[in-house]
Amino acid sequence: MKIAYDRVAATPRTVVPAALPSGESVTSFLTQVHEEFAADDDGELSTVAPALGRADPAHFGLAVLGVDGQLHEHGDSRVTFTIQSVVKPFTYALLAEELGVDLLRERVGVNATGLPFHSAQAVEVGIAGPTNPLVNAGAIATVSHIPGEGVEERWRWVRDGLSRFAGRDLGLDEETLDSEREVSHRNLALAHLMRSFGTVEGDPDDAVEIYTRTCALEVTAADLAVMGAVLADGGHHPVTGERVVSEEVARVTLALMLVAGMYESSGEWLIDVGMPAKSGIGGGIVTVSPGRCALGTYSPLLDGTGNSVRGALSAAMLSRSLGLDLLASEPYA
């Protein structure tokens, strides 16, 4: 049996906001963190696609956007790179807003797989749902539900939605897109496997094409901070003032990021950082402190699971410095 959480769905949710330190303090902390890790050359450039291996390993940028709309940044925060898997929670949020959380929960799943992000095993043996929207299989399944006729119309729908998160029109890195199309065989196999299970809607090849395009969108660390801050502010855009997604969709998206945002090291991340996050093999990480702020980081040197080394260390240090760890507490008296 499954626990019927819908029995408490009508109970109002209480949210207790907490403010960031002063803007000057946040900027000072970013400077300290950048100085601490700028010379750290641990990790390797991604070899998944040739274009990713040409990134400058010295690039390192940090940005924090509070829900008050104040942006703080340091280092290479305006250097462009491809968003890669960091796009997944935002694509999910757009589709959850369009189709409903419950439908995607049923068709795609929500639980961690405990397996690499491109694994087919989770699709074949998963007992708690087909997969989840933050690994490749689940992200492709999610994308397959985008409304519209044909690839181009559906691509415009999701690109426009992602641009609303960023507060600006996001461009496409054509070189990286072509590079990733050449190595998309596993994703195509995943899509066809899920189509056989009824998880992917429509043409699997079309779903992979749209998914690959979303991963090749160009962003900066500052963009990631802005996009994450929309989730931190309950779906409201702190800069443009637009309602991008509902409070409930923002909350569920953050829950998924806690569960599976950092691939198979998500549990370690939760212990060491204590916040929802999503990483990508392009070197970006978005980390969200609900009700307070979001952190965007960029450094292309990755650990063995595909997470940015400098980015992860920066998030851990800022979590401690700014009091952002959701699980940390002190005795009442």
Question: Annotated binding site for substrate: which residue ranges?
Answer: 85, 136, 180, 187, 211, 263
Identify the sign of the CA torsion 139, 53, 283, 90: negative
CA distance linking residue 26 with residue 14, whole number of Å: 27
* Exposure letters 107-135 (e unless 16+ CB within 10 A, then b): bbbbbbbebebebbebbeebeebbbbbbb
Rounded to the nearest 5 degrees, what angle is found at the Cα of 131, between the Cα atoms of 231 and 108? Answer: 65
Binding-site residue ranges: 85, 136, 180, 187, 211, 263
Kindly report the backbone phi and psi dihedral angles of residue 91, in degrees, each rounded to the nearest multiple of 5, phi listed first: -65, -45
Query: Cα–Cα–Cα angle for 287, 288, 290, nearest 5°?
Result: 165
Helix axis angle, 150-166 to 88-99, nearest 10°: 110
Q: What is residue 257's three-state secondary structure? A: helix
Do 137 and 130 touch, CB atoms closer than 8 A? yes
Triad 207, 210, 212: Cα angle to 5°: 105
Q: Using alpha carbons, select from 138, 167, 180 the residue that is nearest to residue 230.
A: 167
> Tokens standing for 6?
């819908």
